[in-house]
């Protein structure tokens, strides 16, 4: 069989645990037999991040910047428990996603993949809800401090002009925890712009939520920047009959649950982290959520929204063939291949990416699925679900593709 050619490499970021196992399988079974894959490989697995003192993550992000398209496998963000699990770790390395996001800036858009046999938990949802997560700053770039004696904590800014600004945070009596977070006008502006652009591309309404009633300066700034950026998009929104509005985060949550879906919900970094898990679970499964980081300079990094599926990995290590859902990781690859094809003017590659997605969804519609989806399948589905392991599932998709 003649393989589809590529001209520019995709930046490939390998990862950890069960998703690393699936990653290899997806490449071998679903991509390499059909595409003469050009990729620049970076091993973002925890062991290699530790060995390179996390340099590999920075190099991978820079490569993504250089080539414009990357695909990333889920990775472990070490915590205390992981430090025990991997005694060779010399540091509690930062989340690779946070490192990459801070280098690329930009916005993460997450959209659930809907299928006919899974009904969203929220009965009114008819179309996917895309969550736009701001990808820079706030609690992910915060300075934290623990103190255990009485004393006063200040927020001190020293301008290069020599001007200083100082604010008392709190007068502590006993043990206290402190956190200082920041964001930048520039990052919020590009967040706003990518959201408006993406809303226009999808022809969908854009919602933005924050808590400016409590955080008048910090969240208030987000709201003001969105308002002022919107000025230059308003005409295009009007022409398309779509709308932008701001609302408080708690009001947004209530409205989302009563909505029919089919819009983009722009969230601050932490809200987006939490809400995307809520929305994806309510749409069916975290394993059915696609994710793409779009930077203001037009770099696209595709990944699955879920993590490394640790629980399944430990079963796999014991020799079990787990039924882990590879769909979101497959769609990360198809997204990257399609974007690469679009940028390099390779219609065959774009076409292949579409066929890969269709083969995956057709396999599901035929009733062949992983355990997480079989559990969710509606009782009146036209075909009774047949639960298979990941190997068999990917094999079925490969057969269809062939
Ligand atoms: P997770 O890997 O997303 O898994 C949580 C649970 O969700 C799984 O145990 C499984 O439930 C279900 N699940 C998730 N993806 C699935 C799939 N593809 N197929 C079937 N079931 C799936 O989250 P976690 O256990 O909280 O985190 C594990 C590691 O992933 C952590 O070290 C974390 O740092 C990392 N992480 C990485 C990223 C990223 O790189 N983007 C994102 C999130 C987390 P059952 O066990 O009930 O089957
Ligand atoms: Mg998360």
Res 164 pLDDT > 80: yes
Q: Which residue has the higher pLDDT, 181 or 114?
A: 181
Residues 202-260 pLDDT 10s: 789 999 999 999 999 999 999 999 999 999 999 999 999 999 999 999 999 999 999 99
Q: Which residues, at least 6 apart from 36, have a Cβ–Cβ distance to it below 8 Å?
A: 3, 4, 5, 6
Distance CA 333, CA 304 (A): 9
Residue identifier of the C-alpha nearest atom 5 of ligand 1: 309
Confidence tier at 289 by pLDDT (50, 70, 90): confident
Q: Which residues, at least 6 apart from 154, have a Cβ–Cβ distance to it below 8 Å?
A: 166, 167, 168, 169
Confidence tier at 53 by pLDDT (50, 70, 90): very high
Residues 140-158 pLDDT 10s: 999 999 999 999 999 999 9
Whether 46 and 93 have beta carbons less than 8 Å apart is answered as yes
Q: In angstroms, what is the span from residue 91 Cα to ligand 2's centroid?
A: 21
Res 384 pLDDT > 90: no
Residue identifier of the C-alpha nearest atom 24 of ligand 1: 307
Q: Tell me, using a 6 A CB cutoff, whether residue 287 lines ligand 1.
A: yes
Of residues 188, 179, 195, 257, the one with CA closest to residue 223:
188
Over residues 281-293, mean pLDDT: 85
Q: Which atom of ligand 1 is nearest to the CA of 329?
A: 18
Q: Which atom of ligand 1 is nearest to the CA of 324?
A: 19
From residue 268, give the alpha-carbon distance in Å to each of 27, 98, 113, 183: 34, 14, 23, 10
Substitution site in 19, 85, 95, 306 for ligand 1 pocket (most atoms within 8 Å of beta carbon): 306
Res 383 pLDDT > 80: no
How many helical (H) and strand (E) elements, i.e. helices and strands, does the chain have?
15, 16
Q: Tell me, using a 6 A CB cutoff, whether residue 308 lines ligand 1.
A: yes
Q: Tell me, using a 6 A CB cutoff, whether residue 69 lines ligand 1.
A: no
Of residues 311, 301, 322, the one with CA closest to residue 22:
322
User: What residues sit around ligand 2, an ion, with C-beta below 5 angstroms?
Assistant: 273
Q: What pLDDT was estimated at residue 89? A: 95
Q: In angstroms, what is the span from residue 95 Cα to ligand 2's centroid?
A: 11
Percent of the chain clearing pLDDT 90 (strictly above): 80
Substitution site in 286, 301, 369 for ligand 1 pocket (most atoms within 8 Å of beta carbon): 286
Helix axes 327-343, 347-365, angle to 10 degrees: 160
Q: In angstroms, what is the span from residue 281 Cα to ligand 2's centroid?
A: 12
Q: Tell me, using a 6 A CB cutoff, whether residue 325 lines ligand 1.
A: yes
Ligand at minimal distance from the CA of 49 is 1
Q: Which atom of ligand 1 is nearest to the CA of 15?
A: 40
Confidence tier at 387 by pLDDT (50, 70, 90): very high
Distance CA 338, CA 341 (A): 5
Q: What pLDDT was estimated at residue 381? A: 67
Distance CA 398, CA 334 (A): 14
What element of type H or E holds 244?
strand 244-248
Say which residue the tokens 């075909």 belong to.
383
Average pLDDT, the chain: 94
Residues 294-351 pLDDT 10s: 887 778 999 998 999 999 999 999 999 999 999 999 999 999 999 999 999 999 999 9
Q: What pLDDT was estimated at residue 163? A: 97
pTM of the predicted protein model:
0.83
Whether 269 and 259 have beta carbons less than 8 Å apart is answered as no
Substitution site in 131, 308, 332 for ligand 1 pocket (most atoms within 8 Å of beta carbon): 308
Residue identifier of the C-alpha nearest atom 33 of ligand 1: 76
Q: Tell me, using a 6 A CB cutoff, whether residue 291 lines ligand 1.
A: no
């Amino acid at each position: 069989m003649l393989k589809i050619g590529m001209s520019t490499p995709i930046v490939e970021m390998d990862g950890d645990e069960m998703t690393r196992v699936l990653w290899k399988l997806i490449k071998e079974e679903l991509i390499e037999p059909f595409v003469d894959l050009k990729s620049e490989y970076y091993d973002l697995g925890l062991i290699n991040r530790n060995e390179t003192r996390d340099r590999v993550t920075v190099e991978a992000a820079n490569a993504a910047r250089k080539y414009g398209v990357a695909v990333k496998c889920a990775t472990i963000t070490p915590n205390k428990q992981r430090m025990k699990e991997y005694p060779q770790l010399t540091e509690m390395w930062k989340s690779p996603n946070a490192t990459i996001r801070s280098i690329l800036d930009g916005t993460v858009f997450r959209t659930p993949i809907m299928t006919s046999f899974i009904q969203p938990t929220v009965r009114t949802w008819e179309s996917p809800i895309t969550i736009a997560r701001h990808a820079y700053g706030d609690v992910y770039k915060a300075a934290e401090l623990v103190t255990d004696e009485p004393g006063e904590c200040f927020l001190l800014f020293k301008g290069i002009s020599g001007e200083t600004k100082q604010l008392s945070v709190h007068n502590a009596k006993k043990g206290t925890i402190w956190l200082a977070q920041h964001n930048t006008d520039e990052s919020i502006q590009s967040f706003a712009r990518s959201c408006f652009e993406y809303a226009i591309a999808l022809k969908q309404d854009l919602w933005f939520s924050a808590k400016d009633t409590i955080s008048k300066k910090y969240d208030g700034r987000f709201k003001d920047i969105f308002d002022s950026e919107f000025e230059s998009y308003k005409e295009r929104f009007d022409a398309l009959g779509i709308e932008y509005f701001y609302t408080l985060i708690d009001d947004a949550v209530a409205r989302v649950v009563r909505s029919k879906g089919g819009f983009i919900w722009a969230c601050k970094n932490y809200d987006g982290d939490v809400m995307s898990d809520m929305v994806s679970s309510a749409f069916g499964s975290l394993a059915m959520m696609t994710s793409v980081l779009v930077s203001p300079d037009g770099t696209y990094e595709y990944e699955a929204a879920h993590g490394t599926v640790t629980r399944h990995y430990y079963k796999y290590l014991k020799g079990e063939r787990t039924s882990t859902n590879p769909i979101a990781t497959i769609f990360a690859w198809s997204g990257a291949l399609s974007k690469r094809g679009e940028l390099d003017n390779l219609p065959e590659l774009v076409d292949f990416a579409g066929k890969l997605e269709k083969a995956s969804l057709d396999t599901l519609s035929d009733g062949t699925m992983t355990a997480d989806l079989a559990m969710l399948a509606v009782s009146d589905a036209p075909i009774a679900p047949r639960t298979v392991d990941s190997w068999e599932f990917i094999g079925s998709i490969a057969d269809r593709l062939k």
